[in-house]
């Protein structure tokens, strides 16, 4: 298969996955016990006008999947849902009065990106560097401590590490106890405002970085040991390249391949990490929004948050696969 | 040693098992050892809440004034129950999907793997949250949800295993004699797949325990039972951090770490034993160079491009050092073609790679000298050695399959060598040279822009030869250059080597089992046995009048084109193992002409005529004449 065709297939597969997720999302909230659409109608927080609007919006009087009775076949709950999604309409939140789900989501995803992106980048850089060092200095004290660290952070629940850092940081090191900005107090200049946000970001980012770092380190180490024992590394050595040159020109790119795969596979793990870290540090991102939606039984919000999380992971997964394709010329199959 | 025996000797396995075992013990004996019953209704006042550790409450009290230690002990029950039962569900689903996908393959297999891929990209925790929020937070629901979502890795692993097992002979045979699919799966495939799943099982358990505690922590646990995640949720949401009540936070968190770390160690140990990975590599620091000895004192050897003198090469082994090459001496003369022959495991490759200090990890030169261009390679500073490598000493490696970097274009791998040793060459000139070299080995120069995986085996070997010639070296070592190729291609590659040697005027050291090739292409031959040189001399002398019994037997084991009716005789037995070398002559145990002395002392290298040497007592008399 040509690489162009391969690219096309990857995109198509991502699109199909998104469609399946949307469908899944629709049925999950409709078919499982506790039907949220109907529950929503009964929710005491909602006015009769809103009930009417909800029924109209969900088309609750229409059939679920296909309309075989009257009107066009696509006049069903399922296709109405699709139509609404296409217009960016994710419904209205129950718990946040008069806020659309889309508005709530778009605000919180920015905060999540601020948390996840720096942590991912830091963890990847540190994990790759430490994994490389551990493998290169195999069997030494550096290697043993790196391995121990990796195994330990892997076994540490994200939320527990967050609690420890929050406990120590807020009680003894003067870090804020959570949130995005310090509430109350005198108005701040733009610079000190940014500083305030950074102060709030530090501990959650550290938590996230440490949690991700351990696994990257372990995978990088075993990948590097494997690559360094390959024949082409011996060829490079026989050519007269120095160790540093061998690592830079022949070792690193090959050893990075499993890391790219791991990052792609781990994006779900990233979401789970974001949910935990944001809960512990009250960081107003998508994760915290999801947990709040659950505790408020705010189904439209929960549905929207889940959809956004799933679609982000699928998109990020696609990007990782494209990077892999770029790094490894051998890939010719999906 | 069986896998179980190896597992028993693994320290991490026992530590992990101990950690997990202690948790199981605590869970079982909870009602006996817990000082209080955490489920009992008790009246509390504000002063009972978040009381620090004391004699009555060893780990203090929690947000409801209850004993933390008792909660911790009872919490083990829920965490382990969820962990094990959810893992069981996951393993069952993953096992069934994986085995069917692997065994059936084709359309069904593809569909099932697509299904698995789909679940792989859906964020686990988010989906768990959504489902538990909808179906309700009972313990049963939590177990079902975690179990129903945690099977993807298992399915992928089982499928991969099944795919390999399916191709094994006994499975094919069972199918051939008409066994039904179900029978084959249950009796032949399943038993082969299960043992390899141990590490994965442990991983699934630890992930299930983590999932349960995470769900409980974010408030989706079963409110009627006490689990570690639940304890953390209560303490965290009810002010333990601001109250400074570390005793309500640390114990349940550490308990989760204890169990997960225990399972992880167990899994790692199982993985190490059942699926051993590479643990050593080519870039480990080199062992210290040997001290000067008699062969150094003797100085360079005139009229040679490579003179190996009394070379000994050792390998690190459990409890000591194994001598793979023991006092080997031979010369490579300028422009000549030298054959290095002997059975597998006789040290041909080790002798050459040892001379070039390219040994596998753990191998090193113990003593002896390797003279090249007036310098002793065995003791040369690594920077100087790097300058000599490829520039005047290059190697065509065995199995070019992996000798070229898979993610770099072949042309770039050639220009890299050229520019490394001739830095004045600009990019365009280097590229031009690389293309000319490919042309020289009979390939279109456009192949320079391709990657190794696009080459056939024969082409890869040609590219490797082009690479070896890149800097116009004075010695090329070709290590069984034709092993993996089919017969037609073998002949072409050999012809190419011979032609290029004449063209470039370099010396060629050809490591091979094939005496026919040596007879045709080499000027001189070195016969190695058990890490020593048995006999060396010109091809004409050695082949027409072999003096060492090993050479004689080796020649009898090969067909002779002039005497096709001669019976071929194989040599009984096998070369000695390095950890069990005979005391006297290494060939004595297999030698039909061995006598008493052969088993007692090692024969010296006896000079027989000009440049011909034989290490055998039978020729001792002759050499004295």
pLDDT per position as a tens digit, A224-239: 888 888 889 999 999 9
Q: Which of A232, A247, A330 sits opposite B453 (nearest CB)?
A: A330
Residues A43, A126 share a domain: no
CA distance B526 to chain A (A): 23
**B20, B118, B124, B134, best to mutate vs chain A, most A CBs in 10 Å:** B134
Q: Judge: A166–B241 Cβ closer than 8 Å, yes or no.
A: yes
Q: Residue A87: how many CB atoms within 10 A of its CB?
A: 8
- B620: closest CA of chain A, how far (Å): 40
Contact A89, A74 (CB under 8 A): no
Distance between CA atoms of B140 and B147, rounded to whole angstroms?
11
Asked if the structure places residue A16 within a domain, the reply is no
Q: What is the per-residue pLDDT for B508?
A: 94
Contacts of B459 (CB under 8 A, 6+ apart): B443, B447
Report CA-CA distances (Å) from B90 to B86, B150, B262, B563.
6, 5, 20, 68
pLDDT at residue B278 in the model: 60
A228 touches chain B (CB under 8 A): yes
Q: Comparing C-alpha atoms, which of B38, B348, B290, B465 is closest to residue A235?
A: B465
At B86 the pLDDT is 93
CB-based contact, A244 to chain B, within 8 Å: no
Provide the domain limits for residue A68. 22-86
Is 70 exceeded by the pLDDT of residue A44?
A: no
Contact yes or no for B218 and A275 at CB 8 A: yes
Are residues A36 and A131 part of one domain? no
Set of chain A residues whose Cβ sits within 8 Å of the Cβ of B394: 238
Greatest mean pLDDT among A75-84, A314-323, B291-300, B364-373 lies in B364-373
Chain A residues lying within 8 Å of B244, measured CB to CB: 171
Distance CA A235, CA A252 (A): 15
> Is the Cβ of A109 closer than 8 Å to some Cβ of chain B?
no
Residue A91 lies in a domain: no
Cβ distance B358 to B385 under 8 Å?
A: no
Of A34-38, A268-272, B562-566, give the lowest mean pLDDT range: A34-38
Is residue A55 domain-resident? yes
The pLDDT tens digits for A150-207 are 888 888 899 999 999 988 888 778 777 777 666 666 666 777 777 777 777 888 999 9
Q: Which of B418, B412, B506, B405 is nearest to B452 (CA)?
A: B405
CB contacts, 8 Å: B220 with chain A: 294
Rounded to a whole number of angstroms, the distance from the CA of A294 to the nearest CA of chain B is: 6
Nearest-CA distance A283 → chain B (Å): 14
How many CA atoms lie less than 13 Å away from B64 in the CB half-sphere?
16
Mutate to test the interface with A, among B125, B250, B262 (most CBs of A within 10 A): B125
Structure-token pair, residue B512: 């091979």
3-state SS class at B378: helix
A-facing residues of B in 135-164 (CB < 8 A) are: 135-136
Whole-angstrom distance between the N-terminal and C-terminal Cα of chain B? 54
Among residues A273, A290, A292, A318, the alpha carbon closest in space to that of A17 is found at A318
CA–CA dist B93, B107 (Å, integer):
19
Contact A239 B268 (CB under 8 A): no
Looking at the complex, report in whole angstroms how far the Cα of residue B124 sits from the nearest Cα belonging to chain A: 6
Partner residue facing A229 (CB), from B129, B241, B281: B281
**A228 lies in some domain:** yes
Q: Note whether A140 and A37 are same-domain residues.
A: no
Tokens describing residue A186 = 């005198």
Tell whether A294 and A237 lie within a shared domain: yes
> Do residues B312 and B575 lie in contact, with contact meaning Cβ atoms separated by under 8 Å?
no
Largest CA-CA distance found in chain A, in angstroms, rounded: 81
Could you tell me which residues come within 8 angstroms of residue A184 by beta carbon, excluding any fewer than 6 positions away? none
Asked whether residue A117 is domain-assigned, the answer is yes
A7–B contact, CB cutoff 8 A:
no
Which residues between 274 and 333 in chain B have a beta carbon less than 8 angstroms from any beta carbon of chain A? 277-284
Query: How far is residue B464's CA from residue B287's CA, in Å, rounded to a whole number?
Result: 28
Q: Does A5 touch chain B (CB under 8 A)?
A: no
Query: Which residue in the set B118, B134, B256 is minimally distant from A34, CB to CB?
Result: B134
Chain B residues in contact with A328 (beta carbon < 8 A): 406-407
Q: How far apart are CA B318 and CA A262, in angstroms?
A: 35
> In the prediction, which pLDDT does A33 show?
47
Q: Phi and psi at residue B223, in whole multiples of 5°?
A: -65, -15
- Residue B328: in which H helix or E strand, if any? strand B320-332
Sequence-distant (6+) residues with CB within 8 A of B388 are: A240, B372, B373, B375, B377, B380
Q: b vs e for B446-461, b when ≥16 Cβ sit within 10 Å of the residue's Cβ? A: ebbebbbeebebbbbb
Chain B residues whose beta carbon lies within 8 Å of the beta carbon of residue A156: 257, 260
Using CB atoms, pick whichever of A236, A295, A313 lies closest to residue B123.
Answer: A313
B123 part of contact set with chain A, CB < 8 Å: yes
- Chain B contact for A302, CB < 8 A? yes
Cβ contacts (< 8 Å) between A306 and chain B: which residues? 126-127, 129-130
Question: How remote is the C-alpha of A135 from its chain's centroid?
Answer: 29
CA distance A170 to chain B (A): 9
Distance (Å, whole) CA B567 – CA A196: 91
Residue B61 tokens, joined: 């009290």
- The residue of A140, A176, A203, A234 whose CB has the most chain B CBs within 10 angstroms, and thus the best one to mutate to test that interface, is A234
Residues with pLDDT less than 50, chain B: none
Residues of chain B in contact with residue A21, where contact means CB-CB under 8 angstroms, are 122
- The answer to whether the Cβ–Cβ distance between A28 and B131 falls below 8 Å is yes
- Prediction pTM value: 0.81
Q: What's the residue count for chain B? A: 625
Which of A175, A222, A232, A305 is most worth mutating to test chain B (most B CB atoms within 10 A of its CB)?
A232
Q: Is residue A5 part of a domain?
A: no
Q: Which helix (H) or strand (E) holds A232?
A: helix A231-239
Angle between helical axes of B11-28 and B68-104 (0-180°, round to 10): 120
Could you tell me which residues are beta bridge partners of residue B228?
Answer: none
pLDDT band at A330 (very low <50, low <70, confident <90, very high): confident
Does residue A119 lie in a domain region? yes
Residue numbers of B between 341 and 380 with CB closer than 8 Å to A = 356, 358, 361
| Count of domains forming chain A | 2
Do A111 and A253 fall into the same domain?
Answer: yes
Tokens 């008409």 found at = B178
Task: Work out the number of other CB atoms within 10 angstroms of the CB of residue A220.
Answer: 27
Mutate: best of A148, A240, A291, A314, partner B, most B CBs <10 A: A240
Whether A274 has a pLDDT exceeding 60, the answer reads yes
Question: Does residue A120 sit in the same domain as residue A262?
Answer: yes
A208 in a domain, yes or no? yes
Among A21, A27, A306, residue whose Cα is nearest residue B127: A306
Residue of A nearest to B476 (CA): A238
Confidence of residue A334 (pLDDT cuts 50, 70, 90): very low
Q: How far apart are CA B50 and CA B61, in angstroms?
A: 5
Residue of A nearest to B110 (CA): A334
Regarding whether A303 and A231 lie in a shared domain, the answer is yes
Q: How far is A115 from chain B (nearest CA, A)?
A: 18
Q: Which residues contact B118 (CB under 8 A, 6 or more apart)?
A: A17, A20
Indicate if A149 and A264 belong to the same structural domain: yes
- Of A164, A274, A184, A180, nearest in space to B241 by CA: A164
| Nearest-by-Cβ selection for A272 from B125, B401, B453 | B125
Picking from B148, B209, B218, B477 by the largest number of A CB atoms within 10 A of its own CB, the best residue to mutate is: B218
CATH of the domain at A149: 1.10.3720.10
Neighbours of B39 (CB within 10 A): 12
Q: Nearest-CA distance from A71 to chain B in Å?
A: 32
Cβ separation of A276 and B278 shorter than 8 Å?
A: no
Contact B133 A294 (CB under 8 A): yes
- Distance (Å) from the C-alpha of residue B237 to the closest C-alpha of chain A? 9
**What is the Cα–Cα distance from B534 to B616, expressed in whole angstroms?**
7
Distance CA B623, CA B604 (A): 11
The pLDDT assigned to B366 comes to 93
Supply φ then ψ for residue B123, to 5 degrees.
-60, 115
Q: Does B210 touch chain A (CB under 8 A)?
A: yes
Residues A73 and A149 placed together within one structural domain of the fold:
no
Q: Do A293 and A248 share a domain, yes or no? A: yes
The contacts of residue A92 (CB under 8 Å, 6+ apart) are: A50, A98, A99, A100, A101, A300
Is the CB of residue B338 less than 8 Å from the CB of residue B382?
Answer: no
For tokens 């141990």, the residue is B198
> How close are the terminal C-alpha atoms of chain A, in Å?
9
* DSSP 8-state symbol, A251: I
A-B contacts at Cβ under 8 angstroms: 229
Closest residue, chain B, to A221 (C-alpha): B279
Same domain, yes or no: A280 and A145: yes
Cross-chain residue pair A272–B420, CB shorter than 8 Å: no
Residues of B in contact with A297 (CB under 8 A): 133
Sheet holding B320-332, edge to edge: B320-332, B306-317, B363-372, B375-376
Which chain A residues are closer than 8 Å to B272 by Cβ? none
Residues A113 and A262 in one domain: yes
**Minimal-distance CA residue of chain B relative to A231:** B403
**Please, is A117 exposed, middle or buried when counting C-beta atoms within 10 Å of its C-beta (0-12, 13-18, 19+)?**
exposed
């Amino acid at each position: 298969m040509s690489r162009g065709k391969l690219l096309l297939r990857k995109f198509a597969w991502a699109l199909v996955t998104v469609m399946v997720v949307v469908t899944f999302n629709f049925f999950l909230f409709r078919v499982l016990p506790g039907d949220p659409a109907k529950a929503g109608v009964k929710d005491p927080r909602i006015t009769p006008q809103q009930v009417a609007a909800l029924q109209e919006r969900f088309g609750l009087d229409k059939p679920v999947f296909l309309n075989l009775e009257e009107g066009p076949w696509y006049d069903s709950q399922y296709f109405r849902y699709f139509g609404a999604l296409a217009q960016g309409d994710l419904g209205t939140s129950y718990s946040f009065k008069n806020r659309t789900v889309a508005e709530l989501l778009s605000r919180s995803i920015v905060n999540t990106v601020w948390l996840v992106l720096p942590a991912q980048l830091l963890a990847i850089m540190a994990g790759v560097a430490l994994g490389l060092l551990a493998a290169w200095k195999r069997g030494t004290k550096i290697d043993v401590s790196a391995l121990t660290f990796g195994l330990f952070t892997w076994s540490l629940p994200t939320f527990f590490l967050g609690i420890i850092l929050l406990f120590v940081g807020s009680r003894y090191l003067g870090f804020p106890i959570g949130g995005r900005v310090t509430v109350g107090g005198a108005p701040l200049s733009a610079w000190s405002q940014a500083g305030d946000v950074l102060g709030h970001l530090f501990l959650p980012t550290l938590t996230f970085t440490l949690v991700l770092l351990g696994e990257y380190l372990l995978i990088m180490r075993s990948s590097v040991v494997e690559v360094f024992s390959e024949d082409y590394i011996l060829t490079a050595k026989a050519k007269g390249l120095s160790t540093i040159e061998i690592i830079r020109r022949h070792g690193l790119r090959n050893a990075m391949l499993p890391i790219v795969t791991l990052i792609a596979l781990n994006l779900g793990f990233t979401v789970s990490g974001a949910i935990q870290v944001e809960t512990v540090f009250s960081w107003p991102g998508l994760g915290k929004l999801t947990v709040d939606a659950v505790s408020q039984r705010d189904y439209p919000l929960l549905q929207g948050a889940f959809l956004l999380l799933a679609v982000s992971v699928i998109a990020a997964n696609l990007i990782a696969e494209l990077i892999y394709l770029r790094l490894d010329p051998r890939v010719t199959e999906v | 040693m069986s896998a179980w025996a190896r597992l028993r000797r693994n320290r991490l396995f026992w530590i992990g098992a101990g950690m997990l075992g202690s948790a199981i013990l605590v869970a079982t004996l909870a009602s006996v050892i817990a000082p209080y019953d955490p489920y009992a209704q008790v009246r509390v006042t504000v002063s009972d809440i978040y009381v620090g550790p004391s004699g009555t409450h060893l780990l203090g009290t929690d947000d409801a004034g209850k004993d933390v230690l008792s909660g911790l002990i009872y919490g083990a029950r829920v965490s382990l129950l969820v962990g094990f039962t959810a893992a069981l569900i996951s393993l069952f689903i993953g096992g069934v999907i994986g085995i069917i996908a692997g065994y059936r393959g084709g359309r069904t297999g593809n569909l099932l793997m697509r299904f698995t891929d789909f679940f792989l990209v859906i964020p686990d925790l988010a989906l768990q949250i959504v489902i538990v929020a909808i179906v309700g937070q009972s313990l049963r629901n939590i177990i079902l949800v975690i179990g129903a979502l945690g099977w993807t890795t298992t399915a992928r692993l089982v499928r991969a295993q099944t795919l390999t097992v399916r191709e094994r002979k006994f499975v094919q045979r069972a199918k051939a004699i008409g066994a039904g699919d179900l029978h084959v799966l249950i009796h032949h495939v399943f038993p082969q797949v299960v043992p390899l799943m141990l590490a994965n099982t442990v991983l699934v358990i630890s992930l299930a325990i983590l999932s349960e505690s995470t769900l409980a922590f974010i408030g989706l646990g079963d409110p009627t039972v006490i689990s570690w995640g639940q304890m953390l949720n209560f303490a965290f949401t009810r002010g333990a951090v601001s109250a400074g009540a570390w005793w309500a936070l640390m114990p349940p968190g550490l308990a989760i770490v204890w169990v997960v770390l225990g399972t992880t160690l167990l899994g790692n140990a199982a993985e190490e034993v059942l699926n051993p990975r590479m643990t050593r590599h080519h870039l480990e620091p080199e062992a210290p160079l040997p001290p000067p000895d008699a062969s150094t004192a003797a100085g360079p050897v005139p009229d040679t491009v490579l003179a190996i003198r009394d070379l000994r090469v050792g390998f690190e082994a459990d409890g000591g050092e194994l001598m793979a090459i023991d006092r080997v001496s031979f010369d490579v003369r300028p422009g000549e073609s030298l054959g290095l022959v002997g059975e597998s495991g006789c040290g041909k490759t080790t002798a050459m790679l040892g001379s070039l200090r390219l040994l596998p990890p753990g191998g090193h030169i113990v003593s002896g000298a390797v003279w090249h261009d007036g310098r002793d390679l065995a003791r040369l500073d690594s920077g100087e050695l790097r300058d000599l490598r490829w520039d005047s000493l290059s190697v065509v490696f065995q199995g070019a399959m992996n000798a070229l970097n898979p993610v770099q274009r072949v042309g770039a791998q050639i220009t890299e060598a050229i520019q490394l040793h001739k830095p004045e060459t600009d990019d365009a000139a280097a590229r031009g040279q690389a293309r000319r070299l490919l042309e020289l080995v009979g390939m279109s120069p456009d192949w320079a822009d391709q990657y190794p995986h696009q080459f056939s085996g024969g082409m890869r070997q040609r590219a490797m030869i082009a690479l070896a010639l890149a800097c116009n070296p004075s010695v090329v070592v070709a290590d069984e250059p034709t092993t993996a190729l089919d017969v037609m291609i073998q002949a072409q590659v050999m012809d190419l080597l011979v032609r290029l040697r004449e063209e470039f005027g370099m010396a060629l050291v050809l490591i091979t089992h094939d005496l026919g090739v040596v007879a045709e292409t080499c000027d001189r031959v070195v016969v190695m046995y058990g890490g020593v040189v048995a006999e060396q001399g010109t091809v004409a002398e050695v082949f027409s009048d072999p003096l060492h019994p090993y050479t004689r037997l080796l020649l009898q084991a090969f067909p002779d084109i002039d005497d096709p009716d001669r019976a071929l005789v194989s040599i009984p037995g096998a070369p000695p193992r390095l950890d069990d070398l005979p005391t006297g002559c290494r060939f004595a145990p297999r030698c039909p002409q061995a006598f008493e002395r052969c088993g007692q002392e090692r024969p010296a290298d006896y000079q027989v005529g000009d440049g011909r040497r034989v290490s055998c007592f039978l020729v001792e008399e002759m050499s004295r004449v």
